[in-house]
Structure formats: structure tokens, C-alpha cells
Amino acid sequence: MKSSALSRIDLIVRALTYSQANAGIFRGEQMRILLCGGAGYIGCHTYATLSERGHQVAIADNFSNSSPEVLTRLRQLSGAPVPFHRLDLRDKPALEALFAQESFDAVIHFAALKAVGESCERPLDYFENNIGGTINLLQAMRGAGVRRLVFSSSATVYGDPEQVPVNEQARLQVTNPYGRTKLVVEELIGDLCRSDRDFRAANLRYFNPVGAHASGLIGEDPNGIPNNLMPYICQVAVGRREKLSVFGGDYPTVDGTGVRDYIHVVDLARAHADALDYLVRADRSLTVNLGTGRGISVLELANAFSSASGREIPYQIVERRPGDVAEVYADPGLAQQLLGWRAEYDVDAMCRDAWRWQSMNPQGYQGG
Ligand code: NAD
Ligand code: UDP
């Protein structure tokens, strides 16, 4: 009797605290959002979208795979200084100090190492950075009572899917240490949601993000030789690389080359804002695919890029890349149903915007 009365009081207190915490947000006011890894490719585009929507956004990053120049560009875009904290997620005291010093309504967690090949060579570094860093972040959030998280997951959690398009019910399997970090973090977040009834999380499984902001001020700027197709094509077009190596011409696909679901990074950025709105509005957690639902082959992308840029993309078909799968594209229906989100940009827009970024910044951010 005593304990059920207590639990009723507890419930009422929780409800009151919750509604106070959300009062402003439900009226459509700004959220204070921390972007961990926000200086990176997807993070900086998301910063631009969230700022446009009137949110107060801050970035935390250690620049392990990004450049301080991004902050200058974001300032140019948004017309205001960019709140920034130079911080490594592996540094737990620094994270806790940040959460003690600032108030946030939500966190978007982009910060991770993401090169598949490197993850096979240095798996422990990937576990430490991607899993260890996330645990520190979740603990710091818990300590500060921040209970909304959007996590950058990946279609890599589906491994080699049994059928396409891939929906969220597909079997999960990982084929490399990078993929394992994504799956483990999704599971950690799931356990946290089960243990804390007020914690809400969105796992966003990105397919293949490409393209750039229409301003040409921000875009993808990989270190060294690009691992991914679109930045490689961009560097061929701008003369930094001689020709594209097409990894495999004998897949059972439309033209023998690998098929993926390329999604414009600005569409992807918008999905983060929509996912945050969902966490507040629906007060539920979710896991969704973010893709267009359309498969594009390597040669189709190279041809589309050639038309968009007016540059020839010389290529040579070489051996398959170990670990690659033939065809992966999303069923993005759940994201549409839950978030009201769907990709708007087609492959021509992706190529046009990627080319604008690359031609305005032939050496990436380095050129200043
Ligand atoms: P990115 O490398 O451009 O951005 C990641 C950012 O995180 C970088 O600025 C990096 O400096 C920062 N970072 C990494 N470790 C950190 C740490 N310990 N502390 C602080 N900052 C740290 O990558 P991206 O393409 O913008 O990807 C963002 C997220 O989306 C990543 O988690 C990635 O795994 C995931 N993802 C990316 C793709 C893709 O193709 N780009 C596809 C699926 C999922
Ligand atoms: N690819 C290629 N040449 C490259 C890079 C990639 O032919 O220099 C192919 C790759 O085999 C795959 C597709 O392009 O079929 C997309 O590769 P990416 O690494 O961009 O994405 P992921 O394979 O991780 O989905």
C-alpha cells in the first residue's frame, strides 16, 4: 500500500518535471542542442539546418577528422559565431565539465572514426573511440539529466542483406569492426532506454551520404586518398586524381558495378531535425533507415557526375574490393511514416552540389 502510494507520487513528480522540462519545446521554441562530432561532414550540414530552424546549437569536436576552417564557414553561413568546444569524447572529465557548464535539451552524436579498412587494422582504436567515447557521452548526459539523443548509425549494420530494399526488420549482422561499433552502440542505447523510462533516442541508419550545401561553403573533405566513391569522383573531376578505379564489374547488378543508395547530405541533415522533433512530440524512441529508396550503380553515378560537372570521369574496372556487397538500398517507408520525412534531392542534384563544393574548394578546407 505504502509503496504503491509512493510510486503514484513518484509518477506525478516525474510527470510534472517532464512537462516543465518540455514546456518551451512543446510551444515550438528553440532547443539547445549539442552536436558531438559536429565539425565533420554530416555534422556541419546538420548545424546549418538546425540553426536555420532557430535552434541554439553548439559543436564539440576534437578535429581528428575535420578542420577548424569549418567553423569559419559555418559562421559565414549562419551570420553568427559558432559555439564550439574542443573536446575528445574519450576525455570523460572534460565531457562532464562541459555538461556542468552548459545546459542542453538534446545531443546529436556524430563523433566516430568511420574508415572500414582502418577499423580492420586497428579495431581497438575503433572500440575505444566509438564505443568508449559513446559510453562517456551517455554517462555525462545522465549526470546532467539530458535525455534526448540522436545517434549516427549506418546501413552497415545490415551487412550483406538477404533482400533489397532493406527495411528495419532485416537481420542485423556486421562484417567489420567499424560496423560492430555501430551495432554495439545501438544496443547500448536500447539498454539505456529500457533502464531509464525517460530517455529517448533516435538511431538513424544512414545509407550513402553525398553532396554538399548549396552555398558551396561546406562539403566532404576526406583526409588522404578518399575511400568512398563520391569524393573520389570529385577529386578525379577536379584533377587531383587521374582516374576512378571501379571495384568490380561482374556483380549481378544492372551494369555489373556495385549499387548503393546515395542520399543528399542536406536531406540527411533535415532528418536529424525531424527526428529531434519526433523525440519531443511523440515522446518515443525510434530506429529508422535514411535513404532515397533508389539504387544507383557506380557507373550511373560517374555518368551523372560527368553530366553535372561537364568533366569527363576516366575510369578503369578493377578487382572487387574485399568485403563489398553487390547491392544495398533502403526501404525508407518507416522514416516517412514516423517523421514525415522523405528525401527530396535526386542524384543529379547530389552531383551538382558535390561538384559546386569541389570546384569552389579544389583542395578542400585546406585551401582556406
Ligand atoms: P566525419 O569524420 O566527417 O565526422 C565525424 C566528426 O567526429 C569529425 O569531425 C571528427 O573530428 C569527430 N570525432 C571523431 N572522434 C571524436 C572524438 N573521440 N571526440 C570528439 N570528436 C570526434 O564523418 P561523417 O561522414 O560526418 O559521419 C558522421 C557520423 O555518421 C559518424 O558516426 C559515421 O560513422 C556515421 N556515418 C557516416 C556515413 C558516411 O558515409 N559519411 C555513413 C553512415 C554513417
Ligand atoms: N567504389 C568504387 N571505387 C572507389 C570507391 C568505391 O568502385 O574508388 C564502389 C564500391 O565498390 C561500392 C560503391 O562504389 O560499390 C560505394 O562505395 P563506398 O565506399 O562509397 O560506400 P559503401 O561501399 O561503404 O556503401
For the domain that residue 330 is a member of, what is the CATH number? 3.40.50.720
Given a cut of 50, is residue 169 above it in pLDDT? yes
Q: pLDDT (tens digit, 9 = 90+) per residue, 328-351?
A: 999 999 999 999 999 999 999 999
Name which of 272, 279, 270, 244 is nearest 258 in CA terms.
244
Q: Which residue has the cell 559562421?
A: 75
Q: pLDDT (tens digit, 9 = 90+) per residue, 56-79?
A: 999 999 999 999 999 999 999 999
Q: Which atom of ligand 2 is nearest to the CA of 259?
A: 15
Q: Which atom of ligand 2 is nearest to the CA of 207?
A: 25
Ligand 2, atom 7, residue with closest C-alpha: 246
What pLDDT does residue 29 have?
59
CA 100 to ligand 1 center in whole angstroms: 24
The three grid cell numbers given for residue 215, joined into one nine-digit string? 552555398
Q: Which atom of ligand 2 is nearest to the CA of 301?
A: 14
Q: pLDDT (tens digit, 9 = 90+) per residue, 135-147?
A: 999 999 999 999 9
Residue 277's identity, in one-letter code, is D
CB proximity list for 97: less than 8 A, separation 6 or greater: none
Return the bridge partners of 297, or none.
259
**Measured between alpha carbons, how far is residue 209 from residues 42, 225, 272 in Å?**
8, 18, 13
The mean per-residue pLDDT over the stretch 31-54 comes to 98
Return the bridge partners of 153, or none.
205
Q: pLDDT (tens digit, 9 = 90+) per residue, 110-161?
A: 999 999 999 999 999 999 999 999 999 999 999 999 999 999 999 999 999 9
Q: How many CA atoms lie within 13 A of 298 on its CB side?
A: 30
Provide, rounded to the nearest whole percent, the portion of the chain with pLDDT above 70: 92
The C-alpha atoms of residue 136 and residue 121 are separated, in whole angstroms, by 24
Ligand 2 pocket member 228 (CB < 6 A): yes
Per-residue confidence band for 85, with pLDDT thresholds at 50, 70 and 90: very high
Q: CA torsion angle for 312, 317, 320, 325 (degrees, to 10)?
A: 50
Given a cut of 80, is residue 176 above it in pLDDT? yes
Vertex 67: Cα angle to 57 and 85 (nearest 5): 40
What pLDDT does residue 239 have?
95
Given a cut of 70, is residue 308 above it in pLDDT? yes
Given a cut of 80, is residue 23 above it in pLDDT? no
Give the chain's mean pLDDT. Answer: 93
Domain extent, residue 312, equals: 3-367
User: For the chain, what is the domain count?
Assistant: 1
What pLDDT does residue 367 have?
73
What pLDDT does residue 17 have?
43
Ligand 2 pocket member 205 (CB < 6 A): no
Vertex 154: Cα angle to 149 and 155 (nearest 5): 140
Q: What is the DSSP letter of 127?
A: I
Q: Which residue has the cell 554538399?
A: 212
CA 146 to ligand 1 center in whole angstroms: 22
Given a cut of 80, is residue 177 above it in pLDDT? yes
CA 36 to ligand 1 center in whole angstroms: 9
The C-alpha atoms of residue 165 and residue 156 are separated, in whole angstroms, by 14
Residue 368's identity, in one-letter code, is G
Return the bridge partners of 290, or none.
206
Per-residue confidence band for 30, with pLDDT thresholds at 50, 70 and 90: confident
Name which of 209, 215, 208, 210 is nearest 361 in CA terms.
215
* Residue-level length of the chain: 368
